[in-house]
Amino acid sequence: MLELKNISKKYGKVTALKSVSITLGSGIYALLGPNGSGKSTMMNIISGILPPTDGEILYNAQGIRSLGTAYREKIGYMPQYPGMYPSFTVRDFLLYMSELKGLPRGSEGEVDYILRRVELDDCADRKISALSGGMKQRLSLAQAVLGSPEIIILDEPTAGLDPKQRIAVRNFISETASDRTVLWATHIVPDIEGIAREVIILKQGEVTDIAAPEKLIQKMSGKVWRVRVEHNAAEEFRKKYRICSTVPDADGLMLRLLSEGQPCEDAVPLVPTLEDYYLYIFGDIL
Ligand code: ADP
Ligand code: MG
């Protein structure tokens, strides 16, 4: 159990986190917020890399600072911008990381297993400098889950991946998560839809909500509408409502929009999604 108590972080005059208090058990927690909302800052603090300006973090009721390396060893961290030694080969890098993590020397089997899972087994002997962005991303994910740490922190793990790789990574993470704590930062809603146990909404450094995705979607009930408009009337709606999507339709447009009440007489209520909620919460700072 991981407990953040009144965590704040200031970089000079910039307040990146404002008194964040959350408790994480096992399962996947999505940390959802747009760029600049403080996701990476929170992850660096939880990883013990960055000291908070205020507040404390408890792991199983003990302060992480007093736990020191005993805590660090329980963490697998995939940073947003991984720095990996370019002259290492893929396999040597993971063997080196196992060594750093203090894993037993016989962990070569695990390295090979993880390489297969992230679909890098074909380039195990390639130098890191010769990898594509998506491959580096998957290698960084591999080192984070190596040794099955109790807490896995992933900072935008699917950035730069194509749709097929995205799905593979998503499945891999969801299978890895069963009995551990996974914190997954993203601003891409479909990544975590259907697999996150809870979603932590981070808005300008503040946790504004933490709930199961279904609960967040429920909040949108009665607020999502479909409206068919003529081209010349669309601008009016754009000014007045938050538009989720626009689809051309015969000689007009089909709009999916957010409105607290029925926006017009022939508006049809729609089943809300998590993406609607995201737009509802963050639409003003996009
Ligand atoms: P996110 O990961 O959600 O994009 P960050 O945690 O990277 O958000 O950033 C949160 C805020 O803190 C932003 O306003 C960003 O500009 C600022 N920030 C992040 N890192 C630093 C830093 N090292 N020095 C100064 N400001 C920073
Ligand atoms: Mg970030």
pLDDT band at 286 (very low <50, low <70, confident <90, very high): low
Record the tokens describing residue 52, joined without a space.
Answer: 């908070």
Name the β-bridge partners of 224. 258
pLDDT per residue as tens digits for the range 164-173: 888 888 998 9
Euclidean distance between the first and final Cα of the chain, in Å?
Answer: 33
Mean pLDDT (whole number) for 236-254: 91
Mean pLDDT for the chain? 93
Q: Is 186 in the pocket of ligand 1 (CB under 6 A)?
A: no
Amino acid residing at 98: S
The answer to whether residues 200 and 32 touch, using CB atoms and an 8 Å cutoff, is yes
Ligand 1 binding pocket includes 37 (Cβ within 6 Å): yes
If one residue of 11, 15, 18, 188 were mutated to test the ligand 1 pocket, choosing by the most ligand atoms within 8 A of its CB, it would be 11
Quick one: what percent of the chain has pLDDT higher than 90? 76
Instruction: Return the higher-pLDDT residue of 80 and 178.
Output: 80
d(CA 53, CA 76): 23
Mind giving me the DSSP string for 76-124?
Answer: EEE-SS----TTSBHHHHHHHHHHHTT--GGGHHHHHHHHHHTT-GGGT
Ligand 2: distance of its center to the CA of 249 in Å? 38
* C-beta 187 within 6 A of ligand 1: no
Q: How far apart are CA 163 and CA 92, in angstroms?
A: 28
